[in-house]
Amino acid sequence: MKRLTVIATILALVALPIIAADEGAALFQTKCAACHGKTGAADTPIAKAKGIKDLGSADIQKWTDAQLTEMISAGGPDKVKGHEFKAKGLTDDQIKSLVVFIRTLKK
């Protein structure tokens, strides 16, 4: 019984980031892709006009999870318009799943 509990715990720890990345990918497509591009590569007219960086770039990937969370939740220290997703109703878990997904974009 104890062995089964250990195996179940290990499987859960392995599966949770995958599930979060999948949820984050779906959220990204509905909430972020219009500006950041379908792959986060900042290849949209809006991204080019506003100087939005590729989310897979070293510049973005060096941000801490807390910094990414703050940017998504409330627009970061500069209060970037369009990034107030906490006020728009996203939950902490949904925002975390977006952070997990952004980490998968690393080049």
21 vs 10: which has the higher pLDDT: 21
Please count the other Cβ atoms lying within 10 Å of the Cβ belonging to residue 15: 10
Give the pLDDT confidence score for residue 7 in this predicted structure: 52
Mean pLDDT of 56-71: 97
* Rounded alpha-carbon distances, angstroms, from residue 2 to 9, 13, 27, 94, 96: 11, 17, 37, 32, 31
Q: What is the pLDDT of residues 27-41, one digit of tens each?
A: 999 999 999 999 999
Does residue 96 carry a pLDDT above 60? Answer: yes
Does residue 46 carry a pLDDT above 80? Answer: yes
68 vs 17: which has the higher pLDDT: 68
pTM for the complete prediction? 0.79
**Contact by Cβ (8 Å): 55, 40:** yes
Delineate the domains of the chain, giving CATH numbers in brackets: 2-103 (1.10.760)
User: With bands split at pLDDT 50, 70 and 90, how would you rate the model's confidence at 22?
Assistant: confident
